[in-house]
Chain A
Amino acid sequence: MNLASLLSKERIDLSLSPGKKEDVIRTLVYSIKKGEDAELIVSTLLKREELGSTGIGKGIAIPHCRSLAVNKLEISVGRTTKPIQFKAIDKKPVSLIFLIIAPPHDPGNQYLITLGKIVQIAKEITKKNLVNKPTTHEEFITMINDIEKQLGKRK
């Protein structure tokens, strides 16, 4: 899996309006799907959040779920202009959000593998203090690409 290749500039919003966790999640979902399907995804994502916040700490959250509403792995990224409350594990507010929706049927469990990899990339972003560094979609994708390359070399 190559995360950079799953990103598209229409689905990277680096000046997302801050708001309630639910509203920010909804905005990111609507960049992928509209209408009833989008609401189904939002409901499932919020149920997932009730189980424990996907705010992994240091300002990053990775809301995720599987849904019948998608037929391939879809990712959308948002960075809020001000950090928002996300009930993250370190209780700190969140500004960078990777939202992941996977199809229900995936042979080989690609979803969990991808999710694990995104968590790893997110941790590199915080470790290197890069949350606020990229200013354009291009820079954001380049940053992800570079991190993936470094992580690949380390193995």
Chain B
Amino acid sequence: MLDVIAMHLKLLFDLDNLISDMDEPKYKEIGFKVDDEEHHALIRTRNDLLKKLPDDIAYVYERLKQRYRQAVAPVDNGFCFGCFQKLPTELLTRSKELTTCPNCGRILYFPEQ
């Protein structure tokens, strides 16, 4: 996967998690104030970021998000952290392209290290 696409995708995913946390009743109970207007602005930023992705990737991302809430799953010890299935070894070395889990379809993220 091209670095710039990967970076956009990672940021989009982090922002989507931020947006969904803000909607959690539990989050509001903690006592942090969230400005509604800025919340809407964040959703616009996230939509702009989505438009920066190639159409096919944006489409896959949105479809996965609808299905699973979180479109991306980190790879941990050769396992997909979304469905906890062991990934085929050949996938683990092919991290330059956008890789999806053959079992659940989530976009796989290979942590640095």
User: Residues of A with Cβ closer than 8 Å to B?
Assistant: 35-37, 40, 43-44, 47-48, 50-54, 56, 65-69, 71, 89, 103-105, 109, 111-112, 115-116, 119
Contacts and interface: CB of A to CB of B under 8 A. Distances in A.
B72 A52 contact: no
Given A40-B7, A66-B17, A66-B18, A51 B26 contact: no
Interface of B: 7, 10-11, 13-15, 17-18, 21-22, 24, 26-27, 29-35, 38-39, 41-42, 45, 70, 72-74, 76, 81-82, 109, 111-112
Contacts of B32: 52, 54, 56, 119
Contacts of A105: 70, 73-74, 81-82
Nearest to A49: B38
Contacts, number: 88
B18 A112 contact: no
Contacts of A50: 38, 41-42
